[in-house]
Structure 1
Amino acid sequence: MKIERSSEWEEGFINKLDHLEKWDSWTLYKMNYDIVKMKLITDFTGLQATKYLPNLKPLTHQLEAAETVIERMNGKAILADEVGLGKTIEAGLILKEYLIRGLVKRALILAPASLINQWIEELNIKFHIPAIAYKKNVPIERYDVLIMSMDTAKKSPHKERIYEQDYDMIIIDEAHKLKNHKTQIYEFVQSLKKKFCLLLTATPIQNDVFELFYLISLLKPGHLGNYDTFQSAFSASKHDLEHNDYLKELVNQVMVRNRREDTGIEWTNRRVQIVPIQFTKEEAEVYDLLGTLQNTGSFSLITLRKEMCSSKEATALTLSKMLEEDNAQSQEVEAILAKLMALEVNSKANKTLEIIEQAQDKVIIFTEYRATQIYLQWYLHSKGITSVLFNGKFNKNKRDYMKHLFKEKAQVLIATEAGGEGINLQFCHHVINYDLPWNPMKLEQRIGRVHRLGQEHDVHIYNLAIANTIEENILALLHTKIDVFEKVVGDLDAILSNFKESV
């Protein structure tokens, strides 16, 4: 390569001499000086991003979380604030900071499909980051910030397209959905280059302590040792472990967790109670008969018992499918089905109606079964109570419309688990957990739909549980899992109330 000395300056120099022009422009110099000074970041402490975000007024805990991740965790962290404290804002601040500093040019954000539009809106409007949603025909190599659904990302040919790109930062929302090394989405994320990586989840332990091990291993392989070392060092089993103080110390090196009570914000109270219910004699008889089935085919007895605690409609669907499988006990199944359909009372639905009438206000009901959801809407309608449905089969427009109808027209929203994330309903402050999940963090997610920033009233939570059924076992296991979570991650707001006092 040939380097030559430029002589272009001579022409300008001689021109200024001949015409007595000004040697410089103070205005241009000052403008140039200000631009260079603005770009110059002399210290890697403190956030520069806030200077460029006029539409955002981050809260103190959000700023501190972003600073902690950048200054102490080198951009690899679990953001585990309680539901409703603004983990998306924290992630946006961190991403903006790295973009300003020139350390990140391209970023990939993975989120549940229901949250993609929310991410696009937040990044574009609040952070002035031009993010787009992934589509099959979009030339993704031309865009620096891409938002993609988890379900799409893990499948071909989409994952291969992403592997061809070179992203500096990976952000994963609702990161607990990664679960462990056996899931497709975990394998996909594990294969990505991760210069910087943020995992967002209020519930880093969902069912067992190993889920947290796998999340941390994605961020910093070896931080907790390998699986066998971790299991041995902490005597870890699914729902128990030792040396939890030391483990918590290690976890806190890669995790930021803010609780509502630590934010300095005045929060409304969370009033939680377990509502005990007694089956009628006829309901209890059918429940006991289900336990006599020796062969339930591809359906578990646990599932049948849970469905019976929900509605005869949900139970009947499963029993009918068992008959279609040519079950060896078809006569017994048919006899149970006949007794089931003869039931005239649903004790849990009656209690739900009682709570709604006492509340005299908007109420959200969470059930695990669509058959129960439809039954409850019919039942409430027969009692003169307006309701709308909300489930995972609805597209975004329908979900938004249902939320609008609930706010403006209906008294009750009946949601399946899909309503437990990605929808904010601060205008409501009564939640009925009609069916209890095995996972306590699902309860926290449900409650977090209403008990979040912007809630102006005390929130009332009703956990329904039928005595002498599998729901008593679920309650006991929920308490065990909550205990493990609090040992390793930290205290939780009330989500159950005291089991022994209530049932």
Structure 2
Amino acid sequence: MIIERSSEWEEGFIKRLENNDEWDSWTLYNMSYEVAKTNLITEFSGLQSPKYLPNLTPLTHQLEVAEKVIERMNGKAILADEVGLGKTIEAGLILKEYLIRGLVKKALILAPASLINQWVEELNYKFHIPAIPYKKNIQIENYDVVVMSMDTAKKSPHKERIYAENYDMIIIDEAHKLKNHKTKIYEFVQSLKKKFCLLLTATPIQNDVFELFYLISLLKPGHLGNYEMFQSSFSASKHNLEHDDYLKELVNQVMVRNRRQDTGIEWTNRHVQIIPIEFTKGEREVYDLILELKNVSTVFSSSFSMITLQKEMCSSKEATCLTLEKMHQNITDPDEAKFVEGIIKKLMSLEINSKAEKAYEIISQANDKVIIFTEYRASQIYLQWYLNSKGITSVLFNGQFKKNKRDWMKHLFKEQAQVLIATEAGGEGINLQFCHHVINYDLPWNPMKLEQRIGRVHRLGQENDVHIYNLAIDNTIEKDILDLLYVKLDVFEKVVGELDDILSAFKKSV
């Protein structure tokens, strides 16, 4: 087959030129002109995107966030609305706006694996943005909007593929996962070219003020100075700082945050309380023996292992026993081994779990759907057995479940079971507005984990008051956890702003 270059265009051009013919159809030109005129955006103020979104009716605060980020923050911002106010919708509006204006062509969304499908569905259905979930065999250069898990993105060869692309916008969901600047995911995001960048997190400070420094440094390097300058200017330590009003002003230049009470939406009430619990004599005896371990065996000399054991003892003997038996294998001294064996024997002879009994009491009085959050899978399994023995139906929810199983557990909880027993994985990515009671069976060191847990039920669409029960055993490490939680909450409120009650209805002065 012989392929030759066509000369038809040249012959037509010469003919029109010699005969002074029309160059093209005037009608078609006018039609083309009208289309171009209609699509022309004559000013940069105001949003164009809502009129192109028939499947979405944004709330007023969501429109205001999108407008503020585009007009005043140049497309680089932390979206820090409280849990349940629709940060995904805000990010979608901003992305759609830039796509319409022609300022963004390619976008990368990084999110936890459990939220990938949710992002893809919302972008496609609500925003008519053709986003695709990243899979290993996908050639990302052929797609303009890609949604990928953080864990995948930071690894080779995926990160190299991303670096090879010129993304106009980067969106990172659950951005508080970037709080540690020494992690691979932080280094990866830091290396990305970021013309426009959105960081989504309801909890920009989780444990200390430096987390916010590193988050803002990802977004706008130098906005708070370098580390030494930041530390010096604000006399900053983990849980304390000076000139917090000035710092708050700087933070608000790159962060948008709405509270539930600011939205103009009528919200149901949140009833929060700390439930004190007393150990039985037998439980207290074992707890005290565990405290003695650091003086008996070098295997238990590290503060981390001791703290873990104390927390587990406040949760269940099952969780405690697993750790003790694992550490017992590393003991070589016969006397030390005998001491640990004695603790295990006393531990397994306990017949009462005071905290589990209190949880059962709360569930019985609620006579409604209840979520229990525990930090240990051994406690999770024990609680399901214990509640079943009391005639209470329950389902489990943890991070080892694949998406289909997570969806099935959620369905069973809604339609059949009274209780959902979740590990920390249940505090992220699921919406359970049909439930109105949350038991924090184990308290985390991080107060924002509590906010995330509560946000699973206290969010848009919740029609009932929400009841939160924080269980804490007297004269144990849980008292220290409570004290530190209040300190961390104080730092959050100084820099970021007020927070709804998450520990009790009365804030402790620190």
TM-score range with shorter-chain normalisation?
A: over 0.9
Report what 1:88 is aligned to.
88
Q: Following superposition of structure 1 onto structure 2, how do residues 82-121 of structure 1 map, counting pairs within 5 Å?
A: 82-121=82-121
Is the Cα–Cα contact under 8 Å of residues 79 and 199 in structure 2 kept in the other structure?
yes
The one-letter amino acid of 1:419's match is: G
Report what 2:131 is aligned to.
131
Deviation for aligned residue 1:448: 0.1
The one-letter amino acid of 1:85's match is: L
Cα RMSD (Å):
1.8
Of 422, 427, 435 in structure 2, the residue corresponding to residue 428 of structure 1 is 435
Report what 2:311 is aligned to.
306
Deviation for aligned residue 1:323: 1.2
Matched, 1:38 2:43: no
CA distance in structure 2 between the aligned counterparts of 1:130 and 1:495, rounded to whole angstroms: 38
Q: Following superposition of structure 1 onto structure 2, how do residues 314-325 of structure 1 map, counting pairs within 5 Å?
A: 314-325=319-330
The one-letter amino acid of 2:183's match is: T
CA distance in structure 2 between the aligned counterparts of 1:15 and 1:292, rounded to whole angstroms: 99
Is the Cα–Cα contact under 8 Å of residues 239 and 487 in structure 2 kept in the other structure?
yes
CA distance in structure 2 between the aligned counterparts of 1:130 and 1:40, rounded to whole angstroms: 22
Q: Following superposition of structure 1 onto structure 2, how do residues 166-181 of structure 1 map, counting pairs within 5 Å?
A: 166-181=166-181
Deviation for aligned residue 1:246: 0.1
Report what 2:258 is aligned to.
258
CA distance in structure 2 between the aligned counterparts of 1:15 and 1:467, rounded to whole angstroms: 92
CA distance in structure 1 between the aligned counterparts of 2:153 and 2:421, rounded to whole angstroms: 30
Q: Following superposition of structure 1 onto structure 2, how do residues 403-482 of structure 1 map, counting pairs within 5 Å?
A: 403-482=410-489
The one-letter amino acid of 2:350's match is: L
Deviation for aligned residue 1:14: 4.9
CA distance in structure 2 between the aligned counterparts of 1:448 and 1:99, rounded to whole angstroms: 31
Deviation for aligned residue 1:37: 1.9
CA distance in structure 1 between the aligned counterparts of 2:346 and 2:279, rounded to whole angstroms: 15
Report what 1:206 is aligned to.
206
Is the Cα–Cα contact under 8 Å of residues 274 and 499 in structure 1 kept in the other structure?
no
Deviation for aligned residue 1:334: 0.6
CA distance in structure 1 between the aligned counterparts of 2:505 and 2:197, rounded to whole angstroms: 38
CA distance in structure 1 between the aligned counterparts of 2:347 and 2:18, rounded to whole angstroms: 99
Deviation for aligned residue 1:159: 1.1
Deviation for aligned residue 1:31: 3.8
Q: Following superposition of structure 1 onto structure 2, how do residues 349-428 of structure 1 map, counting pairs within 5 Å?
A: 349-428=356-435
The one-letter amino acid of 2:323's match is: T
String of CA shifts for 1:351-371, please: whole Å, max 9, x gaps.
000000000000000000000
Q: Following superposition of structure 1 onto structure 2, how do residues 270-349 of structure 1 map, counting pairs within 5 Å?
A: 270-294=270-294, 295-297=298-300, 300-326=305-331, 328=333, 329-349=336-356
String of CA shifts for 1:436-480, please: whole Å, max 9, x gaps.
000000000000000000000000000000000000100000000
Residue ranges of structure 2 left out of the alignment (5+ in a row): 1-9
CA distance in structure 2 between the aligned counterparts of 1:320 and 1:12, rounded to whole angstroms: 98
CA distance in structure 1 between the aligned counterparts of 2:460 and 2:385, rounded to whole angstroms: 33
Deviation for aligned residue 1:498: 5.6
CA distance in structure 2 between the aligned counterparts of 1:393 and 1:363, rounded to whole angstroms: 21
- What is the identity percentage for the equivalent residue pairs of Structure 1 and Structure 2? 79
Is the Cα–Cα contact under 8 Å of residues 170 and 197 in structure 2 kept in the other structure?
yes
CA distance in structure 2 between the aligned counterparts of 1:233 and 1:312, rounded to whole angstroms: 48
CA distance in structure 1 between the aligned counterparts of 2:392 and 2:351, rounded to whole angstroms: 20
Report what 1:219 is aligned to.
219
Change (3 A) 1:33 1:433: same
Deviation for aligned residue 1:39: 1.7
Determine helix, strand or coil for the equivalent of 1:292.
helix
Change (3 A) 1:6 1:203: same
The one-letter amino acid of 1:325's match is: N
Residue ranges of structure 1 left out of the alignment (5+ in a row): 17-21
Report what 1:19 is aligned to.
none
Deviation for aligned residue 1:327: 5.2
Change (3 A) 1:352 1:138: same
Deviation for aligned residue 1:35: 1.2
